[in-house]
Amino acid sequence: MAKHQFQTEIGQLLKLMTHSLYSNKEIFIRELVSNSSDAIDKFNYLQLTDESYKDENWSGMIHINLDEDDNSLTIADNGIGMNEEDLMNNLGTIAKSGTKAFVESLTGDAKKDSNLIGQFGVGFYSVFMVSDAVDVITKKAGEDQAYKFSTDGTGEFEINPVTKEEHGTVIYIKLKEEEKEFLQKHRIESVVKKYSNHIAYPIMMHFKEDETTGEGDDAVTKKVKKSEQVNAATALWTLSKSELKKEDYIEFYKSLSHGDDEPLTYLHNKVEGAQEYTTLFYIPKTAPMDINRADYTSHVKLYVKRVFITDDDKELLPTYLRFVMGIIDSEDLPLNVSREILQENRILANIKQGATKKILQAIKKLKGEDAENFTAQYNNQIKEGIYLDHMNRDLLLDIVRYKSSTQEGMVSFAD
C-alpha cells in the first residue's frame, strides 16, 4: 500500500472544490466524460497506427452506471488507460503549472470559476464537489499491471496494484448523502445532452427502473436493469451546414470550451479540391486566461479523417490567433503523422494559410457590439499579427482599431 501526499496546490484546489465552487456541481460529469473521450481518442490513434495495438473488435465507448443501492456513480471507458507513473503525474501532481495558475486566476465568482476548471486541466478534481471518496481503477494499453488510485480528497492518496482485464479507466464515485440527484436517470441524461452530446463516442447509461407485471392484486413491481445511449455521438463538424442549427453550434462550443458562455462568432467550412479538409472555428466572447502567457494552451484540435491526432500543436494557426478555438479535420494527411512532420508539412501549411484568411475575413465582418467586443478582447493580438504576418497585413490593418484624438471610441484606418 503506497500512500502519497498531494502536491501543495492540489491540496488548495481540493478545499476550493469542496467549499467554494459548489454552484455548478454538475460539471464534474462534463469533465470526467471529456477525459474519457480524450483517452479513447488516444487509443483509437494507437490502434490505427501501430500494428501491436490493432484490435478489429474494439469500439470506443463510455459507460455511466447509476447505483442507488450503493449511492455511487461510475464512469468507465475503454481508452488508453494509465500506469502508475501516469496516475502520479495526472492525478497526484500537475506536471505543468495548471493547478497553480488556476488557483491564481480564481475570481470569487462561483459560476465564472467553475468555467475555468476545464481551461486549466484540473477537471478531475471537480468530482469532490459531490463526493468524499473516489477510486480510479485503470490499466494502460500494452501493459500487464493495473492500478487503483484512491483518495478521500483530504490531502493524501494511495496507489495500489490491482487486477483488471481490459485497458481503460473506471472512476468509482461514492456520492455525498446530499448529492443523490446524480443517481436520477433524467438528471444525468440532461447533463450529458447539455455538455457532451457531440462527443464522438456513444455514452451508455445503465440504471434500474421500476417495472410492474400483472394487474390488480397480482401486480408485482420490481427493479429492472436497463441501458440507454444518451448522446448523439456524431462529430458535428462532419455534418453539412444545412443539417445544423445555431443551437447545435453553440452546444458544441460549450463542450469544447468547458463553459456556459456562447461564442462571439463561429465559422464552418468544407474545402474540396486539390486538398480536402473541414474546419470549424469559434471566437470566444472572452479571451482565454492564458492568452498573454508564452506557454499558452492551443485550443485547436487536429483530426485526420475523423481520427484525433493532437490538440497540442501551436503551428496549426498563427500565434496571434491563439484565442481561436475549434477543429481542423484533414482528408489528406497520413494518420501516423509525427510532430516533426507536422511542422514542415505542405498540406498543413496550406490549411493554415486558408484557415487564417477565413478567420480574418469573419472577424472583419463583425459589426456593432460584436466588433466592439472583439476589439476590447483581442486588439493587441491583431497588432501582433500586423507585425508578424506580412501575407495578411492588409486584412489585419482593416481589423485593428486605435484610439483617436478627434473621435470618441476606437477607430479604424478607414475612419
At residue 180, the pLDDT reads 94
Q: Which residue in 374, 231, 384, 370 sits closest to 296, CA to CA?
A: 384
Please tell me the number of Cα atoms within 13 Å of 317 on its side-chain side: 29
Question: CATH 3.30.230.80 residue ranges in the chain?
Answer: 236-403
Q: Which amino acid is at 50?
A: D
For residue range 104-154, list pLDDT tens digits in order.
Answer: 665 566 555 555 555 545 678 888 889 989 999 999 999 999 999 998 877
Highest mean pLDDT among 179-183, 231-235, 331-335, 346-350: 179-183
Whole-angstrom Cα distance, residue 33 to residue 74? 11
Instruction: State what percent of residues in the chain have pLDDT above 90.
Output: 54
Contacts of residue 408, defined as CB under 8 A and 6 or more positions apart, other chains included, come to: none
Residue intervals in the chain for CATH 3.30.565.10: 2-212+224-229
| pLDDT the model gives residue 220 | 86
Average pLDDT over residues 81-103: 69
Q: Are 324 and 284 in contact (CB under 8 A)?
A: no
Look at the block and give the residue holding cell 453553440: 250
The burial class, CB within 10 Å (0-12 / 13-18 / 19+), for 166 is exposed
CA distances 9 to 16, 103, 109, 305, Å, are 11, 8, 20, 39
Most confident stretch, 8-22, 200-214, 288-302: 200-214
Q: Do residues 378 and 323 touch, judged by C-beta distance below 8 A?
A: yes
Distance of CA 335 to the CA centre of its chain: 22
Angle of CA points 181, 183, 187, to nearest 5°: 60
- pLDDT at res. 108: 60
User: Is the pLDDT reported for residue 78 higher than 70?
Assistant: yes
pTM over 0.95: no
Query: Homologous superfamily of 2-212+224-229 in CATH?
Result: Histidine kinase-like ATPase, C-terminal domain (3.30.565.10)
Instruction: Give the burial class of 222: count Cβ atoms within 10 A of its Cβ; 0-12 exposed, 13-18 middle, 19 or more buried.
Output: exposed
Q: Which backbone phi and psi does 245 adopt, to 5 degrees?
A: -105, 165
pLDDT given at position 120? 47
Closest by CA position to 102, among listed 283, 94, 87: 94
For residue 44, pLDDT over 60 is answered with: yes
pLDDT for the residue numbered 293 = 83
State pLDDT tens for residues 168-222.
Answer: 999 999 999 999 999 999 999 999 988 888 888 999 999 999 888 888 778 888 8
Pairwise CA distance, residues 402 & 331, whole Å = 41
User: Per CATH, the architecture of 236-403 is what?
Assistant: 2-Layer Sandwich (3.30)
